[in-house]
């Protein structure tokens, strides 16, 4: 490791932590430039402003995939300005750099030929998980969020299998994102929004080590998948009867939701899902009329929208 470079420091005259000097030296050794070390204004944490090599920078392995449309828009703006005006947030990991907030900017700038990317480099790699939870630059839909969470979950499981699932509640945000993430990862066109109204109320974080919690997550996902198979078959039969409304699946799921009435005491997740499966298996399509579906379509649609 090279000796730490002489860089601007704020507050002036403050003694930089050894970890910051080591990080600055690593950035320089990688071919980047550590420009300044400073304490950020909210928690006085030490960070580095730097130019990091674009070839060594990538998004975290668990965040949502790049949106071609969003990247194209950013590229057009950058090309017009001929300036990179918003530094990305970076942590050093796996011999390179990850950005949990700024991956689209990174990709657009790299495509335009940038060799280095202006970045705020945070020494604590763990912060990458927390930043993803706070990233509101582009609202996630349910699928994107669930896939991001299950990728984080698996990374945490590999790194710390004995840690309790509930201790990562801040990073994962909602427990049902984990369960739905398993299914979105497995079934490309899975209709997770149909089950979100039920799961968001009964699927909580587990006070179990991740290696045990992961098994229960798979079991919960299997119950949702079972419900979906029954529901999909119902919809297919309904269409043959002329029930072709686009909200037919949501409507049937809402009718079979065991929590459709206000309840003081919610059932356990497994109990609720088994109750839904039983209701779906007993559902009588003969009692459904197009007018009923149409009258509640707006309500059902609103109920399946997840807050970002």
Q: Is 97 found in the same domain as 222?
A: no
- Pick the last residue of a domain from 108, 131, 154: 131
State the pLDDT at residue 306: 43
Q: Is 253 found in the same domain as 143?
A: yes
Q: Is 152 found in the same domain as 126?
A: no
Q: Is 175 found in the same domain as 155?
A: yes
In contact, 247 and 275? CB cutoff 8 Å? no
Average pLDDT, the chain: 87
The reply to whether 276 falls in a domain is yes
The reply to whether 169 falls in a domain is yes
Q: Is 144 found in the same domain as 118?
A: no
Q: Is 163 found in the same domain as 119?
A: no
Q: Is 84 found in the same domain as 28?
A: yes
Q: Is 206 found in the same domain as 74?
A: no
The reply to whether 3 falls in a domain is no
Could you give the number of structural domains in the chain?
A: 2
State the pLDDT at residue 129: 78
Enclosing domain of residue 66: 8-131
Q: Does the predicted TM-score (pTM) go above 0.85?
A: no
Q: pLDDT tens-digit profile of 73-93?
A: 889 999 989 999 999 999 998
The reply to whether 308 falls in a domain is no
The reply to whether 2 falls in a domain is no
Nearest to 96 by CA among 119, 113, 112, 114: 119
- For 53, the 3-state DSSP assignment is strand
Give the domain CATH number at 111.
3.90.1530.10
State the pLDDT at residue 262: 56
Question: β-strand 33-39 against 46-53: which pairing, if any?
Answer: antiparallel
Indicate the burial class of 9 (C-beta count within 10 angstroms; 0-12, 13-18, 19 or more). Answer: middle
Q: pLDDT tens-digit profile of 46-61?
A: 999 999 999 999 988 8
Write down how long the chain is: 308
Q: pLDDT tens-digit profile of 263-306?
A: 678 999 999 999 999 999 999 988 776 555 555 555 544 444 44
Residue 134's H or E segment, with its range, is helix 127-134
Q: pLDDT tens-digit profile of 183-238?
A: 999 998 899 999 999 999 999 999 999 999 999 999 999 999 999 999 999 999 98
Backbone angles phi and psi of 38, in degrees to 5: -155, 165
Question: β-strand 116-122 against 88-93: which pairing, if any?
Answer: parallel
């Amino acid at each position: 490791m090279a000796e730490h470079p002489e860089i601007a420091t704020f507050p002036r005259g403050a003694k930089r932590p050894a970890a910051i000097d080591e990080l600055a030296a690593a950035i320089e050794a990688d071919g980047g430039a550590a420009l300044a070390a400073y304490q950020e204004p909210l928690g006085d944490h030490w960070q580095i402003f730097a130019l990091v090599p674009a070839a060594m920078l990538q998004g975290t392995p668990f965040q949502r995939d790049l949106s071609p449309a969003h990247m194209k828009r950013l590229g057009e703006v950058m090309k017009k300005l001929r300036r990179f005006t918003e530094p990305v947030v970076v942590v050093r990991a796996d011999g390179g750099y990850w950005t949990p907030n700024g991956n689209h900017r990174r990709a657009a700038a790299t495509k335009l030929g940038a060799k280095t990317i202006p970045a705020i480099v945070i020494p604590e790699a763990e912060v990458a998980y927390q930043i993803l939870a706070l990233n509101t630059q582009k609202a996630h839909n349910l699928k994107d969020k669930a896939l991001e969470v299950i990728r984080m979950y698996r990374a945490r499981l590999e790194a710390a299998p004995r840690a309790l699932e509930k201790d990562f509640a801040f990073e994962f945000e909602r427990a049902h994102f984990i369960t739905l993430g398993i299914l979105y990862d497995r079934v490309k066109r899975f209709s997770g929004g149909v089950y979100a109204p039920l799961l968001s109320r009964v699927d909580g974080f587990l006070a179990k080590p991740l290696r045990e919690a992961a098994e229960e997550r798979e079991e919960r996902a299997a119950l949702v998948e079972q419900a979906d198979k029954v529901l999909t078959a119902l919809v297919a039969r309904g269409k043959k009867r002329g029930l072709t409304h686009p909200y037919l699946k949501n409507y049937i799921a809402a009718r079979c939701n065991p929590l459709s009435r206000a309840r003081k005491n919610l059932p356990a997740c497994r109990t609720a899902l088994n109750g839904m499966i039983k209701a779906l298996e007993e559902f009588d399509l003969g009692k459904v009329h197009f007018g009923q579906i149409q009258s509640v379509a707006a309500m059902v649609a609103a109920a399946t929208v997840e807050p970002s």
